Amino acid sequence: MTIPPVERSDVPCTWCPGCGNFGILQALQKAFRDLDLPRHRLLMVSGIGQATKTPHYLTVNTFNGLHGRALPVAQAARLAARDMTVVVNSGDGDAYGEGGNHLLHAMRRNVDLTLVVHDNRIYGLTKGQASPTTPTGQRASGDPRGVVAAPLDPLALAVSQDCSFVAQGWSGRVDALATLILAAVRHRGFSLVNVLQPCVSFNSTHTGAWFRDHADEIPGSHDPTDRLAAMALLVDHGRRGRLPLGVVYRTERPSFEEGLPPSTAKPLRERLPEPSAVLTLLERFR
Amino acid sequence: MSNAAFTFSLAGAAGQGVQTGADLLGRILTRHGLWVWSHADVESRIRGGINIMHFVVSDRPCEYVAGAADLVVALTAESAAACAPSLRQEGLAVAPAAWTDPRRLSVDLDALGSQAGSTKVVATAAAALVAAMVGVDSATVRSTVAETFSSRDGGIADANRTAADLALAEASVLPRLAPDLRPESDHGRLFLSGHQALSAGAVAGGVTFFSAYPMSPATGCFIDLAACADEAGIVVVQAEDEVAAINMVAGAGYAGARAMTATSGGGLCLMTEGVSLLGMTETPAVIVVAQRPGPATGMATRTAQEDLTMVIHAGHGFVPRVILAPPDVGSAFRHGALAFDLAERFQVPVFILTDQLLQDGAATLEPPDLSNLPTARHLVPATELGVRDDYVRHADTIDGVSPQAAPGASRHLVVVDSHTHDERGHLTDRPAVAAAWAEKQQRKEASLRQATPPPLVEGDPEGAILVLAWGSAVGTAREAVGRLRLLGHRTALASLEWLWPAPEEELASLMDEAAMTVAVDASVGAVFSRYLTLATGRRPTMTVTRLDGRPFTVEDLTARLAQEVSA
C-alpha cells in the first residue's frame, strides 16, 4: 500500500490570521515533500508556544512536550530510533529562554536532527511578554518601561559553539525557507534554523514589512565553512542593524549517534529483553 | 536468632583504598563460603578524613547493621579513634602504633606496605590479614588478590600480591577469630553492591536507554550501565541536568525504548514536571531514587528514607505510578529485572526507592534465578499494526491501558501531547473529552491496585507487637524483632516492597489486629508514619526514628523497641 506524503491534518488551526507560522508551516510541508520521506518516518517534536502547535497541523508522528524541553525528548527519540528523521519546532522563548541549557548541550552532542525556531521576538501564547530576542528598549507586557536586558544572539551563540549547521530564514518567503529547511534536515548533525516571523497580535515593531526592510540574503561570496568569517558576518550585520538570511555556518563533524556502540544501532522498539545476557555480567562478581 | 556472626570495621582515610580493600575482602569471604554484608560509612571527600566499611559476616544471610564491632582494622590513627567507641571491650584492633589502646595487636600494616614496595597496598594487606584471621585458606586469598589486580600493570599487581603474602604470614601468629562460623564450599555465590545488583537487574529486564545526571548515591547505577553499554546494547547519555534526563527518558520511551534514569531526592525535585509529562503521555519509565538526607543538598554520602511521600506525589496532576523499594541486594536485582515489564504493562512510571545504605552496601548473593523473567514486550507488534486500519495512542479501554505503538513501527502515526488531549493525541479542552481521559486514568490506577501484592508478614501479628519497616531498614528490623522474641516479647514484622499503590486493606487489618504497631522510620518528619496514615487511616502506636543520616543498628533498634514496649 502506498503511504501518503505529509499533508495538512484535520486539526483546526488556532493561529491568528496573518501569523508568520503559516509561512513556516508551508515551508516545512514543501521541504518534507522534497525530501520524499514516508510520513511515518518523520517525527516532529515541539515544546509549548504558538510555534509548537505546528506538528499537530501535519500528518506526522508528534511529541508535543513541555515548555522548553523539546530538545531532550527529540535527541532521545532519535537515538532510540535512528530510522526516524526528527524535526523540532520551538519558539524564541521555548528555545532560548526555558530551554536554553538544552540548546547549548544539543549543539555539543550533534545528534542528527533539525531545530526550527519560530523567532517572533515576543511571547505570543502568553500574550505579549518580552522574549530573549526582544531588543532593548522595546515595550512589552512585563516590561512596560522597555526591556532593560540586551537580547540573546542565537546565531553568534551557535557559531561560537561550533554548532554544525547554523542558518536564518524568514517566514515571508516560503520557497527560500523550504530550501533552507531541506538543507538543514539533510545535514548530518544538529542543525539550527532561526526563522524570523512577525507576530501580528503582540509585536507591532517587527512586522513583515520591517523584516523585509532589514533582512539581507547572505552573499554567495560568504564561505559558510569559515567560522571566523561567519562570526565576522554576524558582528558586522549586528552593528549595521541588518539581519542575515541563509546559511551562516556549517561544518562536518561526527554525529552523536556515530559515537554510540554498534550494539545500539537497531531501533530500540525492536529489542527484546534477554535475561540470560546478564549471566556474563554477573561472572565478575563471583 | 543469635547465630554466630562476626562484625568488624575496615577504616582509613579517603584515597587509601579502603573501599577497594573492602570489596576484595567481601569477595574472599564469599568465595570461602561465608555470608557477608558490608556497608559504607564515608565522608563526602576524595582524600583524607575518615572512611569506614562495616562488615557483618555469618554462615547465613546477614543483611543488618551491627553497632558493635569484634574487630577494627584501621589504616590511620584518626580512623582507629573514630571506630574505637563501637569496638567491644574484648575486641581486637589492628591500627598504627600512634593509637594507644590495650586492644591493639602488634601488626604494622604500613611496614608491610613498604616491604611490598608501595604505600597504596595497605588496604590489600588489611583485607588479606582479616581473611586469614577468620580462617580463609591462603590459596583463596592469593587467587582472589591476583584476579582483582590482573588487569593493572605489572608493578601494581605484584605489589598487591606481595602485600597479601606478607599479611598471610603475619596472620599466622595472630589470634584465630570467629571459630564458630561454618563456611560452605562449592556454592557459586556472588558478592556485589546494591547499585550493581540493581543495574544488573535492569540489564536482565531489558533496559535499552539510560540517561542521568550524576548525583550521590545514585551515580553507581550510571557508572555500571555506562560500563556495560556496549555489551548490553544500551544507549547511555549523560544529561546536562536532571530536567533533560527525565525528558530524555520520556522521548526514548515514546520511541519504544525501555528507558531509565537514576537520581536522588534533590534531582527528583527537578524531574517532577517530567513525571507529570510521563503521566500525560502514558509513557513507561523506570526511575531510581536513591535517597539521602535532605532537605536541599543535605548529606551527600549519608542515608535516610525521607522521600517516600514526595515520590508518591511527585508531579502535578493525577499520575498513576508504582513505587517499589527493595529491602536488600537480592531484591534490588529482582526489582530492576521486573520494573520495565511492569512499567510497560501499565504505561506508568515505576519508581525504585533505595538509599545510600543499600546502594553502597554489598552482600553475598545466590546467583539469581533468571528462568521466570519475562522475555516479551507489551508494545503492539508491528505485524498487528500492519493489519490495522487505524491507530490512536490513547484509545479508551476498560482497564485504562491503551495499546502502545512506537512511531516508525508501522505506517500508523503516533501522536502524544503534554496538553490534555483526545484519543488521537491532539490538544483539547472540551469537558467531555477531558473527563473521559481522566476516568480512563483512574481505571488505570484501579488496575494497578489490583496488581498490588500484600505486605510480607513474618510471625503472627494477632495481639502482638507489630513492627513495620520498608527499604534498607527491613534487614535490621527483622534481626531486632528476632532478638525481642528471645527477650520474651510477642513480635511480628510487616515489610513492604511495593509501596504504591498501597495495599490499603491488608495493611489496615494488620495494624488493627496487632496489640501495638511500631513504625521504623528513618526520616525527619515522620515520612513512613504519614505514609501508613495515608494508606490506612491509622497511625502507628509509636515511631522509632533516626535524624542523623546514619542507619539503624540492630543493638540500637532492639533497645529502643524494648523500651517502647515496656513503657
Beta bridge partners of B288: B262, B352
Residue A57, CA atoms < 13 Å, CB-side half-sphere: 19
Contact yes or no for B209 and A104 at CB 8 A: no
Contact yes or no for A279 and B370 at CB 8 A: yes
Contact yes or no for A72 and B206 at CB 8 A: no
CA B479 to centroid of chain Cα atoms: 18
- Check pLDDT > 60 for residue A117: yes
Contacts of A74 in chain B (CB under 8 A): 251
The pairing of strands B322-324 and B498-500 is: antiparallel
Judged by DSSP in three states, B495 sits in strand
**How high is the pLDDT of residue B2?**
40
pLDDT in tens, chain B (567 residues): 346 899 999 999 999 999 999 999 999 999 999 999 999 999 988 999 999 999 999 999 999 999 999 999 999 999 999 999 999 999 999 999 999 999 999 999 999 999 999 889 999 999 999 999 999 999 999 999 999 999 998 899 999 999 999 999 999 999 999 999 999 988 899 999 999 999 999 999 999 999 999 999 999 999 999 999 999 999 999 999 999 999 999 999 999 999 999 999 999 999 999 999 999 999 999 999 999 999 999 999 999 999 999 999 999 999 999 999 999 999 999 999 999 999 999 999 999 999 999 999 999 999 999 999 999 999 999 999 999 999 999 999 999 999 999 999 999 999 999 999 999 999 999 999 999 999 999 999 999 999 999 999 999 999 999 999 999 999 999 999 999 999 999 999 999 999 999 999 999 999 999 999 999 999 999 999 999 999 999 999 999 999 999 999 999 999 999 988 787
Contact yes or no for B415 and A62 at CB 8 A: yes
Q: Identity (one letter) of the amino acid at A98?
A: E
Contact present, A98 and A67 (Cβ < 8 Å): yes
**How high is the pLDDT of residue B566?**
80
Contact present, B75 and B126 (Cβ < 8 Å): yes
**Average pLDDT in the A202-230 region?**
97
Structure confidence at residue A1 as a pLDDT band (50, 70, 90): low
Q: Does B429 touch chain A (CB under 8 A)?
A: no
Q: Does A84 touch chain B (CB under 8 A)?
A: yes
In chain B, whose CA is at the least distance from the CA of A83? B408
Cα end-to-end distance, chain B, whole Å: 24
Give backbone dihedrals phi and psi of B133, rounded to 5 degrees, phi first: -65, -25
Q: Does B226 touch chain A (CB under 8 A)?
A: no
On whether the pTM is more than 0.95, the answer is yes
For residue A189, give every residue at least 6 positions away whose Cβ sits within 8 Å of its Cβ, in sequence order, or none. A110, A111, A112, A164, A165, A252, A253, A255
Q: Does B247 touch chain A (CB under 8 A)?
A: yes
Contact present, B358 and B319 (Cβ < 8 Å): no
**How high is the pLDDT of residue B1?**
31
Using CA atoms, how far apart are residues A275 and A280, in angstroms rounded to an integer?
11
Mark which residues 151-180 of A lie under 8 Å from B by CB: none
Q: Does B237 touch chain A (CB under 8 A)?
A: yes
DSSP classification of residue A218: P
Using CA atoms, how far apart are residues A176 and B45, in angstroms rounded to an integer?
57
Using CA atoms, how far apart are residues B271 and B404, in angstroms rounded to an integer?
23
For residue B350, give every residue at least 6 positions away whose Cβ sits within 8 Å of its Cβ, in sequence order, or none. B284, B285, B286, B287, B321, B322, B323, B324, B339, B340, B342, B343
Largest CA distance in chain A: 73
Of all residues in chain A, the percent with pLDDT exceeding 70 is: 99
Q: Does B362 touch chain A (CB under 8 A)?
A: no
Of A53, A59, A276, nearest to B370 by CB-CB distance is: A276
Closest alpha carbon to A41 in B409, B384, B252: B409
Contacts of B410 in chain A (CB under 8 A): 40
Mark which residues 94-133 of A lie under 8 Å from B by CB: 101-102, 104-105
Mark which residues 268-327 of B lie under 8 Å from A by CB: 273-274, 277, 281
Contact yes or no for B211 and A276 at CB 8 A: no
Using CA atoms, how far apart are residues B479 and B461, in angstroms rounded to an integer?
16
Contacts of B426 in chain A (CB under 8 A): 11, 56
Contact yes or no for B408 and A66 at CB 8 A: no
Which of A278, A280, A281 has the highest number of chain B CBs within 10 A, making it the mutation to test binding with B?
A278
- Check pLDDT > 50 for residue A45: yes
Closest alpha carbon to B290 in B365, B208, B202, B198: B198
Of B203, B211, B281, nearest to A76 by CB-CB distance is: B211
**Closest Cα in chain A, distance from residue B274 (Å):** 8
| Rounded (5°) CA angle B210-B21-B145 | 100
Of B209, B376, B427, nearest to A76 by CB-CB distance is: B209
Query: Residue B483: is it exposed, middle or buried by C-beta count within 10 angstroms (0-12/13-18/19+)?
Result: buried
For residue B330, give every residue at least 6 positions away whose Cβ sits within 8 Å of its Cβ, in sequence order, or none. B197, B363, B365, B366, B368
Query: Residue A237: is it exposed, middle or buried by C-beta count within 10 angstroms (0-12/13-18/19+)?
Result: buried
Cα A223 to Cα A179, A215, A233: the distances in Å are 18, 19, 10
Contact present, B463 and A93 (Cβ < 8 Å): no
**How high is the pLDDT of residue B565?**
79
**Closest Cα in chain A, distance from residue B418 (Å):** 5
